[in-house]
Each structure stands twice: as C-alpha cells, then as structure tokens.
C-alpha cells in the first residue's frame, strides 16, 4: 500500500437511508392488546410458544415498563391479570 492509498473511502450522500424498524414481537402485541381492555383476568396463548418461554418474556416486559399487569400460571395455562 502506497502513501496515497487509504484503506477506506468517503463518499457524499444526498440523504440518510431510512432507519430499520424494530420488530414488534407477539409478546409486545399481547401487552398492547391487553392495556386498553377493562380490568380483569385474561388467558394467554401464543401459537408456537410454550408457557416456559411466554412467562419470562412477558414478565420482563411488565417489570421493565412498570405496567399494571400480573402473570399467573395455573394448570399448565398462563393468565394475565390487568390490575387497573
């Protein structure tokens, strides 16, 4: 490599490319569908997901966002309780 050659290129652009949209997961959709509903208990099932994968995913979102929701597991079913 000679002194004039550089290992990079810099080119002008007219505008920035569009940002990559974040994926909206089934867990986020469940939460967004529950929030406008009235106070109560709702049974949750997500196609192709086991209770062992649904519970921690929803639980972490509820805790991180401090949502008025509570998870329950009874008889191999998962329930989401809306508290407010």
Per-residue pLDDT reduced to its tens digit, 26-75: 999 999 999 999 999 999 999 999 999 999 999 999 999 999 999 999 99
**What predicted TM-score, i.e. pTM, was given to this entire model?**
0.70
pLDDT reading at 23 higher than 90: no
Task: Give the pLDDT band (50/70/90) at residue 4.
Answer: confident
Mean per-residue pLDDT, 77-81: 95
Q: Tell me the DSSP string of 26-84.
A: HHHHHHHHHTTSPSEEEEE--TT--HHHHHHHHHHHHHHHT-SEEEEEETTEEEEEE--
């Amino acid at each position: 490599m000679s002194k004039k050659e550089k290992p990079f290129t810099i080119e002008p652009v007219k505008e920035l490319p569009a940002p990559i949209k974040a994926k909206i997961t089934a867990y986020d959709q469940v939460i967004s569908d529950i929030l406008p509903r009235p106070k109560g208990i709702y049974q949750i099932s997500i196609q192709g997901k086991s209770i062992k994968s649904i519970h921690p995913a929803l639980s972490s979102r509820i805790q991180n966002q401090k949502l008025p929701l509570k998870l329950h597991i009874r008889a191999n079913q998962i329930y989401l309780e809306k508290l407010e």
